[in-house]
Structure 1
Amino acid sequence: MPAAQRRTGPLPVRPNAPKGPRNPFHHDQPLPQDQQPPPGPLPLRPSPRTQRRRRLRRPRRPLQGRWPGRLSEARQLFDRMPERNVYSWTILVSGYCRTGEVGQARELFDRMPVRNPYSWTAMVLGYARSGMLGEARELFDRMPEKNVVSWTAMVRGYVECGRVGEARELFNRMGHRNLYSWNVMILGYLEEGRVGEAVELFESMPERNVVTWTSMVTGLARSGEMGKARELFGRMPVKDVAAWNAMIVVCAEEGLVNEVRELFDLMPKRNVVSWNAAIGGNVRNGFREEASRLFIEMLRSPSKPNEATLTTVLVAAESTFEVTEIHGLATLLGFGSDTSFGNALVTMYSRTGDLGSARLAFEELMVKDVVSWTSIIQAYSYHGCGAFALQAFARMLRCGAKPDGVAMVGVLSACSHAGLVGKGRKVFKSMSRVYGLEPQAEHYACLVDLLGRAGLVTEAEGVVRTMPSSKRDECVLGALLGACRVHDKIEAAGEVGEELIKLEQAGSGGYVLLANAYASRGRWSDAARVRKTMKEKGVEKVPGVSSIEVGTRRHSFYVGDSSHPRVLEIYVMLDEVLLPHMKDVKLLQSFQSVHT
């Protein structure tokens, strides 16, 4: 698209969009041309044929989710039936139970002229799935004839509510148990961390299937018993792909990346889940290059990447070039407009500095959920486009989406960076009043930062004093300390800083801020005491870092680090070319102070 035709004004709004909760502020006016975000390149749109293929291979959703009105139609047909038998009654009762409408199900159940074990079991299952164990047990005890399904349904209900003792009591009373009954009980013990009892039950089983073995292996691994898990995995008579995948997943969760690769290489057969588990495990544990190698291997294998694969690899990208490459591959495979992938795409374009592409990726989404809106709000906020973040928030509300806590952090942060104190206050108050959200520590930190940047330090102190003490963490106190330091409120900074460094999770930033605040007033003994405390607690200052992307590579530079292979050329360029052009005296002084 020619540059002259690119849209750089306010984002478009559908004229007939449904209205959501009233926005506590409005900010829809277009910004001046010099404040527009960069438009960036337009991502490729999937062809109509590709979009048709995507729709055809999407899995079908359950009947009641795809056609929500069908149950009411079934009830109308049922009411018009001249004759009904026990099966027609039971089918409708079961339908209501599956959709969570246990009240309607019970009304029909009580009217049934004749009931069979399936009718009773359907109601017991419905109550158990809804967490109504009292009603489920009352019906269960009244059952004239109990079968293994009804017994297992009641056991499962207790297990899902964490009442494993009562589940075991019922399990012991069962006259006949099937494999599913045993598996439910074992899973209950594993989920509660009672590994010993799970192993005891496992060893006493008359027969086992692959689900039983896999459950035990993953349960042992997640409980830290990796040696026993590997031993049990070796004993498995038949290992299907799901069992191998489960073992890879738990090894990745425990940070055992070498074991992940070892198991992956031993697999006789792999599917897309296997590749995703291995790639995702390396990404989560910081082994980005290994994840990239695995992804390239996957592209050469019979297994083709899906949305989850591309999203995982996308999160590991470190440059705009890599994000663009993955975006192009996703478009080629027909996943370019997938919502979960698109949300990650917006975030990663923003993180790598390409706000224009982030914006266009957002607009290309066919379905926008709350995560989509949150991603674009945070992208604008991260790049200092506070007004655009507020416009996106207003659009979100008009489209009927309800913001969550993460979205509100982005909005408050945007208000802070844009200096919109009044709107920030309104947004914070609207969290509980309009959206039913309880402000968390990160929301208080944004509000304190907003007030501090505006010089309203006294009001910021009032917010911290009146907020719940359980939410007064390092971020909140750090924001207040920074405000006190900037506005020369040294006494207040001392009080806040002393409270901050008492927190166990306090990082180096709070110590440095407090020590510098004392030093700026010549209180050298206090500054030395803070630095001594920092050293005694083993808190290390995180070195400053800057990075720049050149071509397809990202170069990072840490304070005091001269390991870059072209460091001499870089300093020659600085000294002979760039520094003479730095006519701003303050910038030059700042640069010299960093390197002295």
Structure 2
Amino acid sequence: MPPSFGSRLYQLSRDCKTMTHLNQILAQIVHAGVSNHQSSVSALVAFSASSPAGDLHIASLLFAHMEDPGSFAYNSMIQGLVNAGFAEEALSFYTRMAMARGEGSRPDKFTFPFVVKACALLSAVGTGKGIHGRVLQLGLSLDPYVCSGLVCMYSEFSELSEARTLFDETPERDPVLWNSMIGGYAKCGLMEAARQLFEEMPCKNVGSYNAMMGGYVKLGRMDCAIKMFEEMPTRDIVSWNTMIGAHARSGSVGIAWELFGRAPERKVSTWGAIISGFAQSSQFDDALEALKRMLVEGARPNKAILVSALSSCSHLGALEQGIWIHGFVEKLGLMLDDTLGASLIDMYSKCGFLRGAKSVFEDMQNKGVCTWTSMIYGLAIHGHSHEALDLFTEMERLQIRPNNITFVSMLSACSHAGLVDRGHEIFSRMSQVYGMNPTIEHYTCMVDLLSRANQKKAARQLIGSMPIEPDVFVWGALLGGFSLHWRHMLMNEDLGKKLARLDPGDSGTYVLASNIYASTGQWNDAMRMRTMMTDLGVRKKPGCSFIEVDQIVHEFLAGGKVHPMSRKIYEMLDHIYREMKTEVPQFSQWVLEFNTRLCTNGYGERMNR
């Protein structure tokens, strides 16, 4: 082949913009001999791994066919893997790179910023410090680009003194390094230190303002964030997204949409900010409405947006809309990764369609911990406890490491099936096998398990041995499984006051104590709890429920009368109530017991008639 052909091929590879172009160029490379055009293959690896239009799987295949990958190809793979969230795989490539014999394959200043980012993502403190040592050996610690990566890593580890030492020892500090240090303080909530460094920064840029604004938003100091936003000389997409998302998360629907309308450009990330923000603030209807607007405007949602939409469907019980989103995922040809697959399973389970959840789970090729956990949880809430336990056993057999939520689901399954011994075994495995410290949620499940099994003494002993302060849900789980006689004895120990002290501003604690007093006939104490609520200005957030009819979700608030059919609904409820009082013996006592059971399991008041 003439030299000009190789040069032309290399230029085409560098200019590659689509997978179609890649396939055309690759056909020429294969025809000419891959070994003769390693630089062109390396350029295609870079496109496939790092470009939004690329494909990491294709990049891996191309890389595997390179006889002697250079640092450029290694760096491209590491960068692509880290940006896609595959931190462990990125570190594996770094290890291969460090062990490679070729002179052109050694790690350089473009390698380490992404390698230390992988360590930060994995919270791999020991590995990160080891790589820092390698940076020192290679004399790269003073490079601002490398130093910025290390500062970010130590900030993620909450080792800000180490991060500040690196910052102070770097003689040439570019804006990226300044912003990394400011961002480190902001992420850890040290806004005074961040502000001081911000004021000292000689040439502030949009990234500096964004770091400060993000820190204020994280701490809930919206007044400071808004002021910073208004003071910005120029704003980029991150600035707008930060403020739109912050207002959406705080439930300020109108302001979020107003800012959204003012944004000079709307990218997918902007839609993501408002949709995920609404979902996180329980504005589920607004989240789904925003998704509809996005589609009407011709924008294509990414996986993160679809996950937020599916979460909204789960909370609303909007099965029809969830099924439509599932169909849309298939229409887009999106592969179900661990997060998206888990969201679909969770949606189907919470909407009561367990068969749909099982179908998604069985069809998935690569199941991660989130997928397994969602399926276990779905089986547990539908009463299929033994099936959930079998799935957990299979998960362990495949060496998929469970997480905290997996264990909450498993303990819940044991509780509903009355499997005390198996529950103890799973609770012990958390710390003894997986090195996880039980959280308040795990203790709540164990107390609930023991209480339901009538093991009162063991339940109280477990609460007494807890290394963390029991909250209202722990006490609720204890009382929920006890008879009226035992509840009366416990409340005589003035457990009501103890509950109220747990969180004086939380209405749930007073409601729980009041209802338990009522269930034991201690009406004066029940009224005392309600009076304490009033005197302290604590207001109970009304409960709400959702019903989906023909893809329209109807919201009902406890005692609310805003629904257009409220009068007819209340008339029908009164009719049903009167019929039940006539037909069901001791109906009033049953209502009281049912109400108490709901409250002691953390669900709040459901029936107050």
Q: TM-score, normalised by structure 2?
A: 0.69
Match for residue 478 of structure 2 among 463, 480, 496 = 480
> What residue number does 2:274 align with?
278
Shift of 1:523: 4.6
**1:560-580 deviation line (CA, Å, top 9, x unaligned):** 455544355556667889987
> What residue number does 1:314 align with?
310
CA RMSD of aligned residues (A): 4.4
Residues 247-286 of structure 1: pairs in structure 2 closer than 5 A: 247-253=243-249, 256-286=252-282
1:316 alignment partner, SS class = helix
Separation in structure 2 between the aligned mates of residue 251 and residue 526 of structure 1, nearest angstrom: 41
> What residue number does 2:401 align with?
402
> What residue number does 1:416 align with?
415
> What residue number does 1:12 align with?
none
Could you say if the C-alpha distance between residues 139 and 250 of structure 1 is closer, same or farther in structure 2, counting changes exceeding 3 Å? farther
Q: Which of 276-285 and 546-555 deviates more?
A: 546-555
Match for residue 290 of structure 2 among 291, 294, 316 = 294
> What residue number does 2:342 align with?
343
Residues 529-544 of structure 1: pairs in structure 2 closer than 5 A: 529-540=528-539
Separation in structure 1 between the aligned mates of residue 427 and residue 163 of structure 2, nearest angstrom: 45
Q: Number of residue pairs matched? A: 505
Separation in structure 2 between the aligned mates of residue 564 and residue 467 of structure 1, nearest angstrom: 45
Q: Which of 512-521 and 353-362 deviates more?
A: 512-521
Separation in structure 2 between the aligned mates of residue 366 and residue 564 of structure 1, nearest angstrom: 45
Q: Which amino acid aligns with 1:184?
A: S
Could you say if the C-alpha distance between residues 136 and 552 of structure 1 is closer, same or farther in structure 2, counting changes exceeding 3 Å? closer
> What residue number does 1:63 align with?
77
Match for residue 494 of structure 1 among 492, 497, 502 = 492
Shift of 1:164: 5.4
Q: Which of 491-500 and 359-368 deviates more?
A: 491-500
Separation in structure 2 between the aligned mates of residue 567 and residue 335 of structure 1, nearest angstrom: 42
Name which one, 1 or 2, has greater alpha-carbon Rg.
Answer: 1
Could you say if the C-alpha distance between residues 527 and 575 of structure 1 is closer, same or farther in structure 2, counting changes exceeding 3 Å? closer
Separation in structure 1 between the aligned mates of residue 277 and residue 498 of structure 2, nearest angstrom: 38
Shift of 1:70: 6.1
Residues 459-470 of structure 1: pairs in structure 2 closer than 5 A: 459-468=458-467, 470=468
Could you say if the C-alpha distance between residues 539 and 356 of structure 1 is closer, same or farther in structure 2, counting changes exceeding 3 Å? farther
**1:520-540 deviation line (CA, Å, top 9, x unaligned):** 665554444444334434445
**1:301-330 deviation line (CA, Å, top 9, x unaligned):** 343111112111222222111111111111
| 1:455/1:487 contact within 8 Å kept | no
Separation in structure 2 between the aligned mates of residue 307 and residue 399 of structure 1, nearest angstrom: 26
Separation in structure 1 between the aligned mates of residue 149 and residue 546 of structure 2, nearest angstrom: 57
Structure 2: runs of 5 or more not aligned: 1-51, 61-75, 82-88, 117-123, 593-606
1:179 aligns with 2:175: yes
Separation in structure 1 between the aligned mates of residue 148 and residue 131 of structure 2, nearest angstrom: 14
**1:481-528 deviation line (CA, Å, top 9, x unaligned):** 223344645213432444323322585565455555555665554444
Q: Which amino acid aligns with 1:263?
A: L
2:173 alignment partner, SS class = coil
| 1:248/1:263 contact within 8 Å kept | yes
Separation in structure 1 between the aligned mates of residue 197 and residue 149 of structure 2, nearest angstrom: 19
Of Structure 1 and Structure 2, which has the larger fraction of its residues in helix? Answer: 2
| 2:179/2:207 contact within 8 Å kept | yes
2:481 alignment partner, SS class = helix
Q: Which amino acid aligns with 2:472?
A: E
1:484 alignment partner, SS class = coil
Residues 240-251 of structure 1: pairs in structure 2 closer than 5 A: 240-251=236-247
Structure 1: runs of 5 or more not aligned: 1-53, 82-86, 101-125
Separation in structure 2 between the aligned mates of residue 383 and residue 428 of structure 1, nearest angstrom: 21
Separation in structure 1 between the aligned mates of residue 141 and residue 365 of structure 2, nearest angstrom: 52
Separation in structure 1 between the aligned mates of residue 162 and residue 429 of structure 2, nearest angstrom: 44
Higher relative contact order (CA 8 A, sep 6+): 1
> What residue number does 2:354 align with?
355
Separation in structure 2 between the aligned mates of residue 67 and residue 159 of structure 1, nearest angstrom: 20
Separation in structure 2 between the aligned mates of residue 286 and residue 213 of structure 1, nearest angstrom: 29
Could you say if the C-alpha distance between residues 207 and 421 of structure 1 is closer, same or farther in structure 2, counting changes exceeding 3 Å? closer
Q: Which amino acid aligns with 1:364?
A: D
Could you say if the C-alpha distance between residues 203 and 358 of structure 1 is closer, same or farther in structure 2, counting changes exceeding 3 Å? same
> What residue number does 1:435 align with?
434
Could you say if the C-alpha distance between residues 556 and 68 of structure 1 is closer, same or farther in structure 2, counting changes exceeding 3 Å? closer
Separation in structure 1 between the aligned mates of residue 608 and residue 215 of structure 2, nearest angstrom: 53
> What residue number does 2:388 align with?
389
| 1:222/1:254 contact within 8 Å kept | no
**1:440-466 deviation line (CA, Å, top 9, x unaligned):** 222121122112122222222222223
Could you say if the C-alpha distance between residues 532 and 340 of structure 1 is closer, same or farther in structure 2, counting changes exceeding 3 Å? same
Q: Which of 334-343 and 304-313 deviates more?
A: 334-343
Q: Which of 532-541 and 409-418 deviates more?
A: 532-541
Shift of 1:229: 1.3
Separation in structure 2 between the aligned mates of residue 279 and residue 270 of structure 1, nearest angstrom: 13
1:502 alignment partner, SS class = helix
Shift of 1:208: 4.8
Separation in structure 2 between the aligned mates of residue 199 and residue 473 of structure 1, nearest angstrom: 36
